[in-house]
Structure 1
Amino acid sequence: MAFSKKGVFTQDMIDEIKSAGIRRDQARQLVIDLETRGSRAFPLFLECLQETGQHSLAELLHNGAPPIQLQPATPTQVVRPVLQPIPVSSPMDVDKHIKDEVPLHPVPRPTTTPSPSPEREHIRPRPQGRPRRDSIQCYKMDASPCGHCLIINNVEFESRSDLSNRKGSNIDCDKLERRFKALNFIVEVKTNLKQRQIKHELSALCKMDHSQYDCCVVIMLSHGTEVSHSRFPGAVYGVDGLHVPVQNITNYLNGKNCPSLQGKPKLFFIQACGGGEKDTGFEVSPDEVQPSIGGADADDQTDAIPMSSSSDSLSMSDEPDARATLPTPSDILVSYSTFPGYVSWRDTQAGSWYVEILDRILEENAATDDLGTMLMMVNHEVSQNSAKGIYKQMPGSFNFLRKLLYFQSQA
């Protein structure tokens, strides 16, 4: 494709445009993506149209559509109330005047019931003992089943990939399958997928009708690496040694590509390394010291692969412009097993630190705590571990949820 040769789009972006549906949807996706590719993208787009013989379309886009003449509206006179300045005798009285100020012309409240917002709002009853957070709404999470949960578990890697097999990952997979079934999700497990198969499964999940569900979960268990990014860092490997960037994984389920999940939480849990750097930690005061799960003799492995080259082909001069026009994801949370750039530790007998603690925290606290609070608990407990008595690990998340999320719980 000419766009790829001129550096306007990467191959991954072209594949995503082609999978958008019918040609009209593909064209719409092309225009939307074109706006995010910097100041050089549109002139190169016109140049590609000229080279492929579409001169009329190129000329129309270059010159623009004829302007539409609009009749000016009749101005209406607005009567504004005259406000008297508040006398201030001293700096100490300023806050008092502001707090006691009363509107001179109070506006009466409407007596009719307002029409419901198109967005799904839900106020969940607060169980006894839960802290009051009345100013923050909760996501609706009472559908049965609650939603789909896709687990991709890559254990055995092809020899040509130069990636080792991930012993202990099946333990992680079994724990998370049981846990999310207990949280009333429809769980589907896919094992040992190549890059294109990962994309196919995510595309199939995107095309499902999620209107009767309240949430969607994707769990990736694999080797990982650090890649250049504009939103979510990191990438996950297929068993063929080819990776899928995390930001591409989230794109499948965002509100633009999966309309039936608009306004609903999309959760991504990534058990994979964010890079090859090992963290030896730093000294703390004695009251911070706690026993570690990992020890000097523990059979710990990492899911680390060296940093991959950038997936962006635009020049650095266009980078600030491209980033400035990217939309902010909403209702998405990506939980990483480790800080971007660092390795993630996995015990070949007990599974990964992150999944082991995440599973236990969900079991013990899902009935009373929201997801953000529970992930903070996971962060704290994983940070107390050490591999071979030396190395540390720090999970974290990119949280673009707008409300509190409480899972369904049998308790």
Structure 2
Amino acid sequence: MAEEKSKKLADEVRGLSLTDGNCFGIPRKCDAKGNREIVARMVTRRDDPEYKMSHKYRGSALIFSHESFDKLEPRSEANVDYENLKKVLDQLDFEVKPYKDLSYEEVRKKIAKAAGKDHTDHDCILVAILTQGESDMVWAKDKCYKVDDIWSAFTPDKCPTLAGKPKIFFVQATQAKLLRDPGFRLQHKGETQTDGDSASNYKIPLYADFLVAFSSIPEYCSWSDSERGSWFIKSLCEELSKSAKSLDLLMLLTFVAQRVAVDFETYDEGHKQITCTMSTLTRILRFADQKRRTSK
């Protein structure tokens, strides 16, 4: 009972509503007494400042792109976002796995399969979700589900070959029915509006080494148009293409936030948008430029 209360409190402190991970049917590893035993191969030494990004393969990039839904209007920007993201991830040596208009059960199976894969020779994993959203929920073709369920499937107890490696998630969830950000104008004083090395064993937390970048802050709209695609994915792809091999990913996402916040506003009422990034990364993450194969 005390252990259950402690776990519940820890989940509340994190504020992420994290699931136990079995929603996607990921098997647990247990010792002879039935207790969870999490042992994984060390990828980086305790004091290494950067993630090791020189494995044989970059890793898989799963793109769940949703254009059509059973109960919602279609996303006209879906194909633009998908093509932009696929192009830049190909350039970064990811093995891109596109999944279009899947049902929740199909999404569940793809995530379980990816979590059960041997990632020993991979730098990382990346999952992109391009869909409609409602608060902390995202839509598959037939129903909505908690986005937390996606990343909880890749904790070390369920996916040990990704332990100590970056797990990256991009969530573009168009949420036009939520709050709208009117923005706030800034101007200089006097201007008018018309003026122009330790190798010893060590433990890591279950939710270390995750990065989740959202297109907007909770409860606020995420905007897009059919020609340019979504503001977030367009800005993300431009920054990845420009700086992914030289900048730390967290710094790069700061510039993505700047692009979205400054360069865009809705045509009708001038609404604005700001991105939101949740990170438990423990090292610098850069997509090192080296020749490698993209699939295993």
In the aligned structure 1, how far is the partner of 2:265 from the partner of 2:28? 51
Could you tell me how far 1:367 is from its partner in structure 2? 2.6
Instruction: Tell me the SS of whatever aligns to 1:277.
Output: coil
Distance 1:235 1:281, change over 3 A: same
Structure 2 residue 157 is matched with structure 1 residue 256 = yes
> Relative contact order (alpha carbons < 8 A, sep ≥ 6): 1 or 2 greater?
2
Larger Rg: 1
For the 8 Å contact 1:184–1:408, the answer to whether it is kept is no
TM score, norm. by length of structure 1:
0.57
Aligned to 1:406: 286
In the aligned structure 1, how far is the partner of 2:104 from the partner of 2:19? 15
In the aligned structure 1, how far is the partner of 2:48 from the partner of 2:234? 30
- 1:248-397 equivalences under 5 Å are 248-273=149-174, 276-286=178-188, 329-384=207-262, 385-388=264-267, 389-397=269-277
Distance 1:280 1:202, change over 3 A: same
In the aligned structure 2, how far is the partner of 1:224 from the partner of 1:329? 23
Could you tell me how far 1:24 is from its partner in structure 2? 6.6
For the 8 Å contact 2:28–2:158, the answer to whether it is kept is no
Query: Which residue of 103, 120, 135 maps to 2:43?
Result: 120
In the aligned structure 2, how far is the partner of 1:369 from the partner of 1:279? 29
Query: Which residue of 115, 132, 137 maps to 1:235?
Result: 137
Structure 2 residue 61 is matched with structure 1 residue 149 = yes
For the 8 Å contact 2:60–2:95, the answer to whether it is kept is yes
Cα RMSD for the two superposed structures = 3.1
Gaps in structure 1 of 5+ consecutive residues: 1-7, 33-116, 124-134, 227-233, 290-326
Q: How many residues align?
A: 255
Letter in 1 for 2:68: E
Name whichever of 216-225 and 138-147 sits farther off: 138-147
In the aligned structure 2, how far is the partner of 1:406 from the partner of 1:260? 20
Distance 1:355 1:122, change over 3 A: farther
Q: Which structure shows the higher helix fraction?
A: 1
For the 8 Å contact 1:149–1:185, the answer to whether it is kept is yes
Could you tell me how far 1:355 is from its partner in structure 2? 0.7
Aligned to 2:50: 138
Instruction: Tell me the SS of whatever aligns to 2:207.
Output: coil
Letter in 1 for 2:91: A
Structure 2 residue 76 is matched with structure 1 residue 167 = yes
Letter in 1 for 2:55: A
Distance 1:386 1:247, change over 3 A: same
Structure 2 residue 105 is matched with structure 1 residue 225 = no
TM score, norm. by length of structure 2:
0.78
Instruction: Tell me the SS of whatever aligns to 1:357.
Output: helix
In the aligned structure 1, how far is the partner of 2:29 from the partner of 2:50? 38
Q: Deviations over 1:251-275 (max 9, x none)?
A: 1111121111000000000000467
Q: Deviations over 1:345-388 (max 9, x none)?
A: 01111101111111111111123211011000000110011112
Q: Deviations over 1:305-354 (max 9, x none)?
A: xxxxxxxxxxxxxxxxxxxxxx7610000000111111110111110111
Could you tell me how far 1:122 is from its partner in structure 2? 7.0
The alignment-based identity, stated in percent, is: 27
In the aligned structure 2, how far is the partner of 1:221 from the partner of 1:156? 11
Instruction: Tell me the SS of whatever aligns to 1:223.
Output: strand
Aligned to 2:100: 191
Aligned to 2:201: none
Aligned to 1:308: none
Could you tell me how far 1:121 is from its partner in structure 2? 2.1
Gaps in structure 2 of 5+ consecutive residues: 1-7, 9-17, 193-204, 292-296
Aligned to 1:317: none
Aligned to 1:207: 116
Instruction: Tell me the SS of whatever aligns to 1:254.
Output: coil
Distance 1:14 1:246, change over 3 A: closer
In the aligned structure 1, how far is the partner of 2:98 from the partner of 2:84? 12
Q: Which runs of 4+ in 1 moved over 4 A?
A: 12-15, 22-25, 286-289
Letter in 2 for 1:387: T
